[in-house]
Chain A
């Protein structure tokens, strides 16, 4: 079984293993590397990078790379320039940088890099790799190949994160796979540096030790000297760097680092690292790193900073450490990391330091927590130092909230200019106006997740709430107890007066009763229709009313039913309310006592209750025998349509008339709409409550109904036409007296309210 040696701990592992069983280091696979030119993890990074920067391809032709080179940020340009100078100055002093292996031993992918075809390397893993390389040997050529991409802000963030991880460097002994640390820094920029590539090949070879573990890179030893850096110098930045975007393998990398570090102490040949000098050098960029690790200040737009392309030229203040150092000097102490002009104090040879590190700075983070630091920052200074971002068009278009596009808040009138004109505060400006306050504040209404409420419905609900607001507010007004008693007594007195007037109205108004001389035409039409009904056809008497109006409807229909009984007409009683037919039967029984010789058992059939409302009525018009198939006797239910009364009835048109007792305009309307179209010449008559009579008048005027008796007045007119005194005529005095009393009461109440101050003024004074 083939084994794969770990490049870190040199222990054999399974050939299929992705990571070392002992130290969890990433194992390299030569075959795949040969086939693909890279490792699996690099492919995955490449895919991620391709997805993330798909609209903005990182790959570029050499011509494009040259253009992008013009867009390199200043700080990176300085780093490169410095690195070039250092390289030239120290070229002769670094014999150990010579390659130990011939170039022919390089893997294919590395050859491609040398040939300048490494532009496909993803830079999204820059952050992670910078961390791993900083913890191990990092060839300066590797970082020479790296540069901040100028196309996307994400890459810029990676660079910033990379610097942060550099500050969070912790010495370890184990070395990750050199390919891990190398590949992320291969980008298209390499093709633009063919001169350096020849020199870099040696060091690149040293970094590809994973291909052959026996071939330890030459610089590996020199880089081991980084491991002696005491932990206290880097612990703080490491924690602060947690704010940055976490790469997928970042956690794993930290695990890889710390385990070997505990097992393998620094060797005696490790090069001492002057932390203080590094601290001094890195301190120059402290503020830059601090800003990265800080929470965004309220009022500032972190989105603007993040999305600002590095090539805009206006965001250099973010990348220029010097621009912010002064502003944030109070938060940290800056020290240069590497002092080139002090050779005695320089802990590394020039070759030992990668070029990026030689020119880079590191932060010395204060012991203050990040939140505390962010509170100390002056947001105004921060805003002043941060130039406005020049967002690309595509980003500006998809930006959810455009600060420039936001409509400016409506400038409310200057309250200081408002001068109170009346009241105790008259003449004082800046008073809070009640008109500004009223209606502005409402308790938020939660509609829940199950109820889907549209904006229009919400506005309607708010409108309704505002309409009833005054009434609801009145409930909050605490009424004094004596006033409550007074109101109660007044109500009782009013009820007693009404009852007395109704009881004794006839005697009081005996000589003052005014009998109507004119009869409403709808009542006259009913009388005429009843007189014209054929005696061989039954009358369908239906009830669609609540028991509460039984008193009114019984009086209104009494004379009409008596009129029909006197004509010896048959009745079929039907109700669309459960108890309506029972009430009607009782009424028929009562009235029949006034008509001698009229036998209910032979003239009346109870069809019972028709359920379904308007649907039942619709069925009644289509197939009445199916709709109400049974009749109800005292002890049994029989087939209704076998009785002699209904034998000739097959539809509503076979009835002599359809009379509906109703108390609601809605139900009357349903009857007209559902029944009337199915009736040809059969009269449709109504006995209706006075409250619904006005809405029936249009149907009468249009001819959809033949006539109706509306309330007490209608029955009174019918009695007058029928020339038979009944309940309505007998109680006319009480009726008129109670109506006049109520009219007088309303008039008096209105006058009093007109004279008295309004309720609003009354409430305002209180």
Chain B
């Protein structure tokens, strides 16, 4: 066995948290709450370690390597240092500091989403180029149908009961698919949890 201690800790921790769901006793709660606190603290430390790795393990290392593109690494390091120093100096709750951060972050990420929209639109042109089969045709028709339905142009169907029932049925189709997806996720999560609790799967072993 590679690491029996980590295995024991994982199983015991999982069992304690799981028991807290079914038996909300104060004793289990007294153990469970500190454990969750530790987990939250560890998550914060992990994020900090990830940032340090990004700066020192990736970009500074790239600066030392000959022949690599250093421009963006320099930008990343400089911006990181600027934000970190300003945040430490002004505090993370300072209004101006928050506005600066969000004024940079929100447009950049929103523009990426806009690019995604255009990319998807262009890709939809080739929808039947590769999958010229039954499933491809069904997917093709579904895309068009739900684009039209969600646009709201079929609002006049409220005056036509048959069409309204038909559209209501179309609205239920995504729900059916979502249920299937959620059931699959639940079963997968259950199996994964059991595997971790029984030690069959050890994601913590690295």
Could you tell me the distance in whole angstroms from the C-beta of A245 to the nearest C-beta in chain B?
40
Chain B residues within an 8 Å CB radius of A735? 151-152
- Kindly identify which residue among B20, B92, B102, B117 contacts A586, using a CB–CB cutoff of 8 Å: B102
Given contact pairs A498-B121, A515-B155, A606-B93, A622 touches B102 in the complex (Cβ within 8 A)? no
Cα separation A622 to B126 with both chains bound (whole Å): 50
Could you tell me the distance in whole angstroms from the C-beta of A707 to the nearest C-beta in chain B?
15
Report whether B29 and A622 are in contact in the complex, using a CB–CB cutoff of 8 Å.
yes
Cα separation A713 to B153 with both chains bound (whole Å): 12
Chain A residues within an 8 Å CB radius of B57? none
Binary interface encoding of chain A residues 715-734 relative to chain B, with 1 for a CB under 8 A from any of its CBs, else 0: 01000000000000000100
Given contact pairs A740-B148, A743-B147, A517 touches B155 in the complex (Cβ within 8 A)? yes
- Kindly identify which residue among A622, A716, A747 contacts B32, using a CB–CB cutoff of 8 Å: A622
Chain B stretch 160-191: residues in CB contact (< 8 A) with chain A: 164, 174-175, 177-179, 181-182, 185
Interface check A320, CB cutoff 8 A: no
Interface check A634, CB cutoff 8 A: yes
Report whether A713 and B150 are in contact in the complex, using a CB–CB cutoff of 8 Å.
yes
Report whether B110 and A753 are in contact in the complex, using a CB–CB cutoff of 8 Å.
no
Could you tell me the distance in whole angstroms from the C-beta of A513 to the nearest C-beta in chain B?
9
Cα separation A471 to B33 with both chains bound (whole Å): 49
Interface check A426, CB cutoff 8 A: no
Chain B stretch 85-137: residues in CB contact (< 8 A) with chain A: 91-95, 98-99, 101-102, 105-106, 109-110, 112-113, 117-118, 121-122, 124-130, 132
Report whether A634 and B95 are in contact in the complex, using a CB–CB cutoff of 8 Å.
yes
Report whether A611 and B44 are in contact in the complex, using a CB–CB cutoff of 8 Å.
yes
Chain B stretch 53-90: residues in CB contact (< 8 A) with chain A: none
Binary interface encoding of chain A residues 611-625 relative to chain B, with 1 for a CB under 8 A from any of its CBs, else 0: 111011011001100
Binary interface encoding of chain A residues 577-614 relative to chain B, with 1 for a CB under 8 A from any of its CBs, else 0: 00100110110000000000000000000100011110
Binary interface encoding of chain B residues 38-60 relative to chain A, with 1 for a CB under 8 A from any of its CBs, else 0: 01100110010000000000000
- Kindly identify which residue among B91, B92, B105 contacts A547, using a CB–CB cutoff of 8 Å: B105
- Kindly identify which residue among A582, A618, A626, A627 contacts B98, using a CB–CB cutoff of 8 Å: A582
Report whether B126 and A753 are in contact in the complex, using a CB–CB cutoff of 8 Å.
yes
Interface check B12, CB cutoff 8 A: no
- Kindly identify which residue among B36, B94, B101 contacts A615, using a CB–CB cutoff of 8 Å: B36
Chain A residues within an 8 Å CB radius of B92? 632
Interface check A69, CB cutoff 8 A: no
Could you tell me the distance in whole angstroms from the C-beta of A350 to the nearest C-beta in chain B?
72
Report whether A740 and B153 are in contact in the complex, using a CB–CB cutoff of 8 Å.
yes
Could you tell me the distance in whole angstroms from the C-beta of A588 to the nearest C-beta in chain B?
13
Q: Point out which of A490, A739, A750 has the most chain B C-beta atoms below 10 A from its C-beta.
A: A750
Chain A residues within an 8 Å CB radius of B98? 582, 585-586
Could you tell me the distance in whole angstroms from the C-beta of A686 to the nearest C-beta in chain B?
14
Cα separation A735 to B150 with both chains bound (whole Å): 10
Binary interface encoding of chain B residues 140-162 relative to chain A, with 1 for a CB under 8 A from any of its CBs, else 0: 10011001101111111010000
Interface check A479, CB cutoff 8 A: no
Given contact pairs A491-B118, A619-B40, A551 touches B144 in the complex (Cβ within 8 A)? no
Report whether A516 and B152 are in contact in the complex, using a CB–CB cutoff of 8 Å.
yes
Q: What residue in chain A is nearest B113 (Cβ atoms)?
A: A548
Report whether A622 and B36 are in contact in the complex, using a CB–CB cutoff of 8 Å.
yes
Chain B residues within an 8 Å CB radius of A56? none
Interface check A494, CB cutoff 8 A: yes
Chain B residues within an 8 Å CB radius of A490? 122
Report whether A746 and B33 are in contact in the complex, using a CB–CB cutoff of 8 Å.
no
Cα separation A695 to B174 with both chains bound (whole Å): 8
Report whether B147 and A746 are in contact in the complex, using a CB–CB cutoff of 8 Å.
yes
Cα separation A747 to B146 with both chains bound (whole Å): 13
Chain B residues within an 8 Å CB radius of A743? 143-144, 147-148, 151
Report whether A615 and B147 are in contact in the complex, using a CB–CB cutoff of 8 Å.
no
Report whether B175 and A694 are in contact in the complex, using a CB–CB cutoff of 8 Å.
yes
Chain B residues within an 8 Å CB radius of A464? none
Interface check B17, CB cutoff 8 A: yes
Chain A residues within an 8 Å CB radius of B144? 743, 746-747, 750
- Kindly identify which residue among B39, B155, B178 contacts A698, using a CB–CB cutoff of 8 Å: B178
Cα separation A610 to B37 with both chains bound (whole Å): 11
Chain A residues within an 8 Å CB radius of B110? 547-551
Cα separation A516 to B150 with both chains bound (whole Å): 10
Report whether B147 and A739 are in contact in the complex, using a CB–CB cutoff of 8 Å.
yes
Report whether B125 and A745 are in contact in the complex, using a CB–CB cutoff of 8 Å.
yes
Chain B residues within an 8 Å CB radius of A548? 106, 109-110, 112-113
Report whether B127 and A583 are in contact in the complex, using a CB–CB cutoff of 8 Å.
no
Cα separation A748 to B128 with both chains bound (whole Å): 11
Cα separation A619 to B41 with both chains bound (whole Å): 12
Q: What residue in chain A is nearest B173 (Cβ atoms)?
A: A694
Could you tell me the distance in whole angstroms from the C-beta of B146 to the nearest C-beta in chain A?
9
Cα separation A758 to B128 with both chains bound (whole Å): 9
Report whether A619 and B147 are in contact in the complex, using a CB–CB cutoff of 8 Å.
no
Interface check A637, CB cutoff 8 A: yes
- Kindly identify which residue among A583, A616, A698, A739 contacts B179, using a CB–CB cutoff of 8 Å: A698
Chain B residues within an 8 Å CB radius of A748? 125
Cα separation A690 to B129 with both chains bound (whole Å): 27
Could you tell me the distance in whole angstroms from the C-beta of A669 to the nearest C-beta in chain B?
7
Cα separation A579 to B143 with both chains bound (whole Å): 34
Chain B residues within an 8 Å CB radius of A447? none
Cα separation A612 to B33 with both chains bound (whole Å): 13
Could you tell me the distance in whole angstroms from the C-beta of A167 to the nearest C-beta in chain B?
56
Chain A stretch 662-698: residues in CB contact (< 8 A) with chain B: 669, 677, 690, 694-698
Interface check A633, CB cutoff 8 A: yes
Chain A residues within an 8 Å CB radius of B44? 611-612
Could you tell me the distance in whole angstroms from the C-beta of B155 to the nearest C-beta in chain A?
5
Given contact pairs A547-B109, A579-B105, A694-B178, A754 touches B37 in the complex (Cβ within 8 A)? no
Given contact pairs A716-B152, A736-B152, A491 touches B175 in the complex (Cβ within 8 A)? no
Q: Point out which of A616, A698, A732, A754 has the most chain B C-beta atoms below 10 A from its C-beta.
A: A698
Report whether A494 and B118 are in contact in the complex, using a CB–CB cutoff of 8 Å.
yes
Chain A residues within an 8 Å CB radius of B29? 622
Could you tell me the distance in whole angstroms from the C-beta of B154 to the nearest C-beta in chain A?
8
- Kindly identify which residue among B95, B118, B122, B178 contacts A695, using a CB–CB cutoff of 8 Å: B178
Report whether B140 and A713 are in contact in the complex, using a CB–CB cutoff of 8 Å.
no
Cα separation A579 to B83 with both chains bound (whole Å): 14
Could you tell me the distance in whole angstroms from the C-beta of B151 to the nearest C-beta in chain A?
4
Cα separation A101 to B120 with both chains bound (whole Å): 108
Interface check A514, CB cutoff 8 A: yes
Report whether B37 and A470 are in contact in the complex, using a CB–CB cutoff of 8 Å.
no
Chain A stretch 449-501: residues in CB contact (< 8 A) with chain B: 470, 490-491, 494-495, 498
Q: What residue in chain A is nearest B94 (Cβ atoms)?
A: A634
Cα separation A515 to B122 with both chains bound (whole Å): 28
Report whether B112 and A749 are in contact in the complex, using a CB–CB cutoff of 8 Å.
no
Interface check A445, CB cutoff 8 A: no
Chain A residues within an 8 Å CB radius of B101? 579, 582
Report whether A732 and B152 are in contact in the complex, using a CB–CB cutoff of 8 Å.
yes
Report whether B151 and A739 are in contact in the complex, using a CB–CB cutoff of 8 Å.
yes
Chain A stretch 241-285: residues in CB contact (< 8 A) with chain B: none
Given contact pairs A494-B122, A517-B158, A611-B40, A694 touches B151 in the complex (Cβ within 8 A)? no
Chain A stretch 546-582: residues in CB contact (< 8 A) with chain B: 546-551, 579, 582
Report whether B178 and A746 are in contact in the complex, using a CB–CB cutoff of 8 Å.
no
Cα separation A494 to B106 with both chains bound (whole Å): 24
Could you tell me the distance in whole angstroms from the C-beta of B92 to the nearest C-beta in chain A?
8
5 contacts between A and B (CB under 8 A): A470-B130, A622-B20, A622-B33, A713-B152, A716-B152
Name B's A-contacting residues (CB within 8 A): 17, 20-21, 29, 32-33, 36-37, 39-40, 43-44, 47, 91-95, 98-99, 101-102, 105-106, 109-110, 112-113, 117-118, 121-122, 124-130, 132, 140, 143-144, 147-148, 150-156, 158, 164, 174-175, 177-179, 181-182, 185
Given contacts A582-B98, A690-B150, 17 further A-B contacts (CB under 8 A): A470-B130, A514-B155, A514-B156, A516-B155, A518-B158, A547-B102, A547-B110, A548-B110, A549-B113, A583-B106, A586-B102, A611-B44, A615-B36, A740-B151, A743-B147, A750-B127, A750-B128
Q: Which 10 A-B pairs have the closest CB atoms?
A: A749-B125, A548-B109, A612-B40, A739-B151, A694-B174, A743-B147, A753-B128, A619-B36, A632-B93, A746-B124
